[in-house]
Structure 1
Amino acid sequence: MNTPQQLAEVLTSLRVGNQSFLITFYEQNRDLFARWARRQHQLPAPEAHELLRTVLVEFYDQVSDGRLTKLPPDLRAYVYGMADEQVRAARTTAVLPKAEAGRRQRLLGLFRQLGLDSQKMLMYFYFRGYNFEKMAGKMGFANANVARMQKSICLRKLYELRLRTETAAS
């Protein structure tokens, strides 16, 4: 699955509800993923299989609701990254006080509702510590000022999502 045509076909079939690609992906990568999860996170095979299923459902949700507009060229690496993020988030929140853990989980849920480009932008700035020039290069922007404005827009979207969910909960 290398050509853009094939990637576009997969994305289209996922958007209309055809999950056969994900089922095939799961069947072909289940054992390899279990070995990776055991090596990276000391997860036994049944937990690794459940994690892979959870991540594939999350991936499907991203495609179906439009957060993911193009299929990553290396889907396996993308899925493994999602799994790694989930395991690390679970471990991080496990040692926090309940209120803080809940707040972080809600924020992570809101973060996942952002588009892929917005997620990348905020990850580059806040978690990897990239400056605006490096972000502009990574994201394909004309200069650091464009990156700065785009980061601001992404942060504003996250803030507005948070306000909407708090207002809806009240």
Structure 2
Amino acid sequence: MNQPLAEALTHLRMGNQSFLITFYEEQRDHFARWARRQHQLEPAAAHELLRGVLVDFYDQVADGRLTKLPPDLRNYLYGMAQEQIQAQKTTAELPQVEAGRRQLLLRVFSQLGPDCQQVLMYFYFRGYNFEKVAGKMGFANATVARIQKTSCLRKLLDLQARLLSGGGAEAGASAAAV
């Protein structure tokens, strides 16, 4: 990591990921030790987690959600990893009813077309506004993105209602196939 952090941020925005690759190569063993000590993760799982965190970090920079590098990048990235691990633990500890509801929703979500899945992911999980969704999806403007999101959400709820009511052999069969 010889290049200054401000220069690295500029390079990341332009799509040059060499800074992140270098960070990964320099930090992966240290990260694996930290993950094993703090969270009992095996090295392979720790390396996968670090790669995922670096991809999330890159997305934050590329999307403009992160406009300047944190003063201590390593602590920032380890904090992101900590949050992901906590989220996984929280999900694992959900009551069975909630876990079942989430599994049903994931099954129904997987029945949506890829465009609907992407629109809903961008809006609800990435927190993109309609302008950004429109840009990412190639829609004419934010209004089109809003209409698409509403349409996709309506499809998701209709599929869920059909599956819950047991209506239609094709809904049950396609849900079982997923």
The TM-score with structure 2 as length reference comes to: 0.57
Q: 1:168 aligns with which of 152, 160, 171?
A: 152
Query: Are 1:51 and 2:49 matched, yes or no?
Result: yes
CA distance in 1, matches of 2:83, 2:103: 15
Q: Which amino acid aligns with 1:80?
A: Y
Q: Which amino acid aligns with 1:98?
A: G
Distance 1:6 1:167, change over 3 A: farther
Deviation of residue 69 (structure 1)?
1.0
CA distance in 2, matches of 1:10, 1:65: 15
Deviation of residue 101 (structure 1)?
7.9
Structure 1 unaligned runs (5+)? 115-163
* Mapping 1:93-132, distance limit 5 Å: 93-96=91-94, 97-99=99-101, 110=124, 112-113=126-127
| Alignment match, 2:115 | none
Distance 1:41 1:102, change over 3 A: farther
How many residues matched? 120
Distance 1:167 1:83, change over 3 A: farther
Deviation of residue 168 (structure 1)?
3.4
CA distance in 1, matches of 2:57, 2:104: 22
CA distance in 2, matches of 1:30, 1:40: 15
CA distance in 2, matches of 1:46, 1:16: 30
| Alignment match, 2:21 | 23
| Alignment match, 1:158 | none
CA distance in 2, matches of 1:165, 1:81: 32
Distance 1:33 1:102, change over 3 A: farther
Q: Which amino acid aligns with 1:41?
A: H
Q: Secondary structure at the match of 1:113?
A: coil
What root-mean-square deviation, in Å, do the aligned CA atoms of Structure 1 and Structure 2 show? 3.3
* Mapping 1:26-105, distance limit 5 Å: 26-96=24-94, 97-99=99-101
Deviation of residue 167 (structure 1)?
5.2
